[in-house]
Amino acid sequence: MSLLKTVAVSNNNIQLPSTPGKFKPEKYQPYNHFMIHRLRLSKLTLWSSIFLAFILFFFILSPPSPSPSPATNTRQSWGGHHWEKRVTNSARTNSDSGLTVLVTGAAGFVGFHVSLSLKRRGDGVLGLDNFNRYYDQNLKRARQKVLSRAGVFVVEGDINDAALLRKLFDVVLFTHVMHLAAQAGVRYAMQNPHSYVHSNVAGFVNLLEVSKAANPQPAMVWASSSSVYGLNSKVPFSEKDRTDQPASLYAATKKAGEAIAHSYNHIYGLSITGLRFFTVYGPWGRPDMAYFFFTKDILKGKQITVFEGADGGTVARDFTYIDDIVTGCLGALDTAKRSTGSGGKKKGPAQFRIYNLGNTSPVAVSELVRILEKLLKVKAKKKVMAMPRNGDVQFTHANISRAHRELGYMPTTDLETGLTKFVKWYLDFYSPSRKKVAPSSSW
């Protein structure tokens, strides 16, 4: 501004105001008007050049940022020497034969338990979780704190962030990936369909892309779902049964995941095992699941809605206790063969497996409520209504003979025993007097 002012004064003897727009010539002079116009233009040009130079300067200096994740924030919360040290410490095994496992969804229900069990037996475990807001983040943070105390670092990030995944694979040579990050819940898919595609399809493909390019490629074990059986009416559900009639978008994305996994196994030689979980429940569970919010609502004296099938038919689930699921997951990891490819190139056929992990003992939802009433010592205010068309299926029942034969899987917890442990945890965790996050017993 002062430079312009000086030039103008010396050349034309015109007083230019320091604030544009305040200048008023005493009388109209065409020459002066022309000069003022030119000066305004050159002033504009100078400022534009300075502005452009600034933008260029910052553009050249700024480092490339990781790809943004629409599910979470776009700020980079990873990287740096300290962060890498935490990553390597967490992934370090206690013995030469130990596994080095990346657990996605580690702050989720199943991921939390699997991570703890792996760490306790001496495997190296690195967690990854985007801490999204699908349900109470405090519960996820509480799980994270327990994991941290056990020596498991949970990296905060999304499976859609390829740069982050590549960085993790650069820093650690993972032998296995336990992929449990997903958008869960059958009924929520009608409210937020895109979150299912984002996590269960796009995120999964992203993880497979990075895994297939890794050298060595890890073996992958991942969570499919009993929901892939959809409208299948043949019981108990066997892995050989048809899975082409999903009843919800959630189920459709899990079925898509199985097909996608097969293609990566076929093309790139990735060793992949899919586990079809059957309504997993237990301590540190998911608040969006019926057993969890029934407990909360019964204690609050709120009405609960219990679905029944067409013509009053029973709605039932093969409820499976978390500890049984964890033994199934560890069995799958321990029996997984190595991937055959490296750096994105297949070197030979690789293992591809699918297993049911259920309890083989379906229980009616009305019975679940009866057990909760007994354990909580509170009568539920029940409203029985026909199951809405919301993606639910009426009945699930797992045939687990393949998992038993090949993984040594054998569930041992009946619903009442499992719910007793859940209710004990729930009352402790949500007790107003409880010191937040410190669990009273050893889950």
Ligand X SMILES: O=C(O)[C@H]1O[C@H](OP(=O)(O)OP(=O)(O)OC[C@H]2O[C@@H](n3ccc(=O)[nH]c3=O)[C@H](O)[C@@H]2O)[C@H](O)[C@@H](O)[C@H]1O
Active site residues: 250
CB of 286 to ligand X, least distance (A): 7
CB of 223 to ligand X, least distance (A): 8
Asked if 184 is part of the footprint of ligand X (rule: CB under 6 A), the reply reads yes
- Which tokens go with 431? 């007790």
Q: Near ligand X by CB under 6 A, which window of 25-33, 304-312, 323-331, 349-357?
A: 304-312
CB of 437 to ligand X, least distance (A): 25
Spell out, one character per residue from 272 to 301, where the chain touches ligand X: x when CB under 6 A holds, - when not: -----xxx---------xx-----------
CB of 165 to ligand X, least distance (A): 24
Asked if 178 is part of the footprint of ligand X (rule: CB under 6 A), the reply reads no
Which CB sits closer to ligand X, 209 or 367?
367
Strand partners, 126: 102, 153
Asked if 392 is part of the footprint of ligand X (rule: CB under 6 A), the reply reads yes
Contact 136, 49 (CB under 8 A): no
- Residue 257 and residue 178: Cα distance in Å, rounded? 14
Asked if 185 is part of the footprint of ligand X (rule: CB under 6 A), the reply reads yes
Q: Which of 307, 352, 360, 373 binds ligand X (CB under 6 A)?
A: 307
CB of 167 to ligand X, least distance (A): 30
Q: Which of 195, 225, 265, 399 binds ligand X (CB under 6 A)?
A: 225
Give CA separation, 299 vs 120, 292, 296, 304, 436, in Å: 34, 11, 5, 11, 20
- Residue 218 and residue 208: Cα distance in Å, rounded? 10
- Residue 11 and residue 3: Cα distance in Å, rounded? 12
Residues 364-383 that bind ligand X (CB under 6 A): 365
- Residue 96 and residue 90: Cα distance in Å, rounded? 15
Q: Residues in contact with ligand X, total (CB under 6 A)? A: 19
Asked if 416 is part of the footprint of ligand X (rule: CB under 6 A), the reply reads no
Which CB sits closer to ligand X, 37 or 296?
296
Q: What are phi and psi of 101, to 5 degrees?
A: -120, 130
CA atoms within 13 A on the CB side of 116: 20
Asked if 355 is part of the footprint of ligand X (rule: CB under 6 A), the reply reads no
- Residue 114 and residue 177: Cα distance in Å, rounded? 12
CB of 403 to ligand X, least distance (A): 15
Q: Near ligand X by CB under 6 A, which window of 71-79, 113-121, 220-228, 404-412?
A: 220-228
Which CB sits closer to ligand X, 153 or 426?
426
CA atoms within 13 A on the CB side of 50: 6
Q: What are phi and psi of 161, to 5 degrees?
A: -90, 95
- Residue 67 and residue 74: Cα distance in Å, rounded? 8
Residues with Cβ within 8 Å of residue 203, at least 6 apart in sequence: 158, 159, 160, 181
Task: Check the CA dihedral 313-325-439-88 and report its sign.
Answer: negative
Q: Which of 315, 325, 407, 419 binds ligand X (CB under 6 A)?
A: 315
- Judging by DSSP bridges, how do beta strands 316-317 and 363-364 pair with one another? antiparallel
Which CB sits closer to ligand X, 123 or 318?
318
Amino acid at 69: S
Which CB sits closer to ligand X, 61 or 310?
310
Q: Which residue bears the tokens 């990296």?
A: 155
Q: Which of 115, 206, 226, 243 binds ligand X (CB under 6 A)?
A: 226
Give the footprint of ligand X on this chain (CB under 6 A). 184-186, 225-227, 277-279, 289-290, 305-307, 315, 317, 365, 387, 392
